[in-house]
């Protein structure tokens, strides 16, 4: 699905992938457990995987992952964008409005904006 | 132990460093095995979770992001349980740092269910001593039938959904016919929603609604059980986990929905 949305040539999978991939550390209650330092340390592997792809964005399909990876991007200084799957689907369909772009970086904030006049 | 079983990956060096740190202290046994914890868990799991089949190969630990945290790793945790070190196993905060992602089962040649061992170790903590954030989120979700861990009630949710829907129908006339129903009888899909959107970033509700509208999906939220998060599961509180799951499922059943779409 991601390939069809961003274009095959723009999709870079991380290594390892699928069942061999690593958990980001947002799940299992970790985000609410209070062990923040441990959680970020846990996420170091995921962040390294993402940074190794040199991709501008990481797509997350779940909230826990989104919150954790977004924090990893800031914490480890990768500053890649972390977007929900639904955002990039709507972006590709040309129906993503100006106020639905919280997690898009500046490079995509103004791309293919649906009803730009409604920007708040 | 180091090197031989390490996987080749971007974090190889990191894992090796962490393991180096944690193998300094030898584990000393009291001599008398008094274990009951691992035996109890074995009784609860299909095939005993294969908990007595460990070959000590370390594939679990070499690929676990939680390896090294609190001086613990999946193999060490399992070995300590097998050696009857119940006190250590049931008191280490590491069980809250394992996300129970199950990668260790995937790579284990014997398919040992370490995550379930972790789950039952969480459960061995007196409820009030479990991490406050998880506990608070679970308790909040139990307060009303929306099951929202952020405490959003039925009216709060309805107000936000209707308010945002109306605003976007006007602002984006192509979606003037878009719906975001709550308790629509006979809808095909029952959709749930993480509390974060209605409570803190309602504009983020829109992309999902637009996709559902564009594909012509017949869907509904439930006034009860719309919240997708379930911190009671993470708290290892079986009864509360069951209550939350049942509340959502009952609502979907009562509405006659055919498919439960879990967006979490």
pLDDT of B25 reads 76
Domain that holds residue A14: 2-92
For residue B254, give every residue at least 6 positions away whose Cβ sits within 8 Å of its Cβ, in sequence order, or none: none
Neighbours of A34 (CB within 10 A): 14
pLDDT of A98 reads 97
Decide if B207 and A115 are in contact by the 8 Å CB cutoff: no
Q: Mutate which of B207, B209, B240, B244 to test chain A, going by most A C-beta atoms within 10 A?
A: B207
Whether cis (ω within 30° of 0) applies to the bond prior to B87 is no
Fold held by B12-125: Fumarate Reductase Iron-sulfur Protein; Chain B, domain 2 (1.10.1060)
| Domain locations along chain B | 12-125, 132-261
d(CA B260, CA A103): 27
Q: Please state the ipTM of this predicted complex.
A: 0.95
Decide if A35 and B207 are in contact by the 8 Å CB cutoff: no
Q: What is the pLDDT of residues A1-54, one digit of tens each?
A: 999 999 999 999 999 999 999 999 999 999 999 999 999 999 999 999 999 999
pLDDT of B34 reads 65
Residue B198 token pair: 């209605």
Q: Mutate which of A29, A30, A97 to test chain B, going by most B C-beta atoms within 10 A?
A: A29
| Number of independent structural domains in chain A | 1
pLDDT of B147 reads 97
pLDDT of B30 reads 72
pLDDT of A66 reads 96
Is residue A87, in this structure, part of any structural domain at all? Answer: yes
pLDDT of B8 reads 42
Is residue A104, in this structure, part of any structural domain at all? Answer: no
Is residue A80, in this structure, part of any structural domain at all? Answer: yes
Secondary structure in 3-state letters for A71-106: HHHHHCCCCCEEEEHHHHHHHHHCCCCHHHCCCCCH
Query: Mean pLDDT per 10-residue run, chain B (264 residues)?
Result: 41 47 69 79 90 95 97 96 93 98 96 96 98 98 97 97 98 98 98 96 97 98 97 98 98 98 90
Decide if B206 and A26 are in contact by the 8 Å CB cutoff: no
pLDDT of B36 reads 86
pLDDT > 60? residue A110: yes
């Amino acid at each position: 699905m991601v390939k069809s949305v961003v274009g095959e040539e723009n999709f870079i999978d991380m290594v390892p992938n699928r069942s061999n991939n690593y958990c980001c550390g947002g799940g299992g209650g970790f985000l609410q457990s209070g062990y923040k330092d441990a959680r970020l340390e846990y996420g170091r592997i995921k962040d390294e995987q993402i940074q190794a792809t040199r991709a501008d964005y990481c797509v997350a399909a779940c909230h826990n992952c989104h919150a954790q990876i977004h924090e990893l991007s800031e914490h480890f200084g990768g500053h890649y964008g972390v977007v929900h799957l639904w955002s990039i689907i709507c972006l590709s369909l040309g129906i993503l409005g100006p106020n639905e772009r919280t997690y898009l970086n500046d490079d995509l904030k103004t791309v293919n904006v649906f009803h730009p006049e409604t920007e708040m | 132990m180091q090197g031989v079983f390490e996987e080749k990956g971007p974090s190889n060096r990191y894992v090796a460093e962490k393991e180096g740190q944690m193998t300094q202290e030898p584990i000393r046994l009291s001599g008398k095995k008094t274990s009951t914890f691992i035996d109890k868990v074995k009784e609860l799991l299909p095939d005993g979770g294969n908990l007595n089949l460990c070959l000590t190969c370390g594939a679990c630990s070499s690929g676990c992001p939680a390896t090294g945290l609190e001086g613990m790793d999946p193999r060490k945790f399992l070995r300590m349980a097998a050696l009857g070190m119940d006190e250590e196993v049931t008191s280490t905060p590491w069980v809250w740092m394992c996300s129970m992602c199950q990668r260790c089962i995937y790579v284990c040649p014997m398919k040992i269910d370490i995550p379930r061992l972790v789950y039952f170790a969480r459960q061995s903590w007196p409820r009030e001593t479990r991490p406050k954030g998880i506990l608070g989120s679970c308790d909040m979700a139990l307060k009303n039938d929306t099951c929202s861990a952020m405490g959003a009630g039925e009216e709060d949710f309805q107000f936000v959904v209707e308010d945002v829907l109306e605003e976007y129908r006007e602002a984006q006339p192509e979606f003037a016919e878009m719906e975001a129903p709550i308790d629509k009888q006979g809808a095909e899909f029952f959709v749930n929603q993480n509390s974060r959107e209605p409570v803190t970033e309602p504009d983020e509700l829109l992309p999902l609604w637009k996709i559902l509208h564009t594909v012509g999906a017949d869907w509904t939220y439930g006034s009860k059980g719309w919240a997708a998060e379930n911190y009671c599961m993470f708290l290892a509180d079986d009864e509360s986990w069951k209550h939350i799951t049942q509340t959502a499922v009952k609502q979907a059943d009562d509405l006659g929905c055919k498919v439960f779409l879990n967006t979490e």
